[in-house]
Amino acid sequence: MREEANEEENVARSGLSASEQMRQAREAAGMSLEDVASRTRVTLRHLAALEAGDYHALPGTTYCAGFSRAYARAVGIDENELVSKVRAEIAEMGVGQDGPYEIEEPVDPSSVPPRYLAIAAAVIALLFAGGYAIWRTQSITPPTDDQLAIEQRTETRIADPRATPSATAASKAPANPTGPVVLTAVNEVWLRIYEPDGKRLFEGTLAKDKSITVPAEAQEPMILTGRPDALAVTVGGQAIPPLGTAERTISDVPVSADALLARRVQPADTGPGASIQGDDSASPPTG
């Protein structure tokens, strides 16, 4: 009986526009537009434009499709049918099409900030790294007698021509920091942290100055975001070069401690696992 009722509801909705389907499904679920916004993390103004069929007020076909998919999941209707209908209506209206790099990934739909904000974000990241370096310098305690004795023996072995090259190199090699991987939002930014098998460790919008810690037990964690420049990254408190620039969306970029520490000797945009999705600074949503 329940399946028959669902089929009747689908037939009844088939003749409606996408916006009417969304509104009726929301009302049938007893939800307000604010409830949908809370579940989908899509801003209220974009949901209102979507429910009104005002596609001109939305960023583009990709965003409309991504918002529609999130909306359908929130109210419990077929997401693929709704997305197809939205795309068809957009094509009929002649709304501007997106570029060739079209994917559906839910991203906070805020517009790209002016260039001066990107510059300010880079300056803040540098100040953060410089401040940490100063703090580290000032926090160093005087060496103990035992430590001085060890250093003296080490210097003697290095000066000794019989010392092996491997031993000399090992004595000079800096130790990698240990500790958690922490991502801090310099500006509000949407991101997803996930494992290669698709398991999502975090997905959502990170408010300015808020941080998340990548779980230590995560298996080869990676990141997807349209604003890599809006994230300050540290490993064990040590600042890591930016994951990317404001003009590039990144995905499948490893954020384990080992991978991030390797970035210290690589350019920020060519680190292991870097993947550029296009020239847009924000990627649209999927599910």
Tell me the three state secondary structure of residue 138.
Answer: helix
Q: Which whole number is the average pLDDT over 172-190?
A: 79
Each domain of the chain, given as residue ranges in start order, spans 2-93, 115-270
Instruction: Dump the DSSP string for 15-81.
Output: TS-HHHHHHHHHHHTT--HHHHHHHH---HHHHHHHHTT-GGGSS-HHHHHHHHHHHHHHHTS-HHH
Instruction: Dump the DSSP string for 225-251.
Output: ES-GGGEEEEETTEEE--S--TT--EE
Q: In residues, how long is the chain?
A: 287
Q: Which whole number is the average pLDDT over 69-78?
A: 94
Selection from 125-139, 190-204, 242-256 with the highest mean pLDDT: 190-204
Q: Which whole number is the average pLDDT over 155-169?
A: 52
- CATH level 3 topology of 2-93: 434 Repressor (Amino-terminal Domain) (1.10.260)
Per-residue confidence at 227, pLDDT binned at 50, 70, 90?
confident
Is residue 189 within 8 Å of residue 231, measured between CB atoms?
Answer: yes
Paired residues of 233 in beta bridges = 183, 240
Element (H, E) at 191: strand 189-194
CA dihedral 209, 212, 213, 219 (to 10 degrees): -140
List pLDDT tens digits, range 31-68: 999 999 999 999 999 999 999 989 888 888 888 889 99
Q: pTM higher than 0.85, yes or no?
A: no
| Cα–Cα dist 194/197, whole Å | 8
Quick one: tokens of 218?
A: 């995560």
**pLDDT > 90? residue 21:** yes
Which distant-in-sequence residues (6+ apart) come within 8 Å of 53 by Cβ?
A: 17, 18, 19, 89
**pLDDT > 80? residue 8:** no
Look at residues 68, 119, 101, 57 and name the one whose alpha carbon lies nearest to residue 282: 101
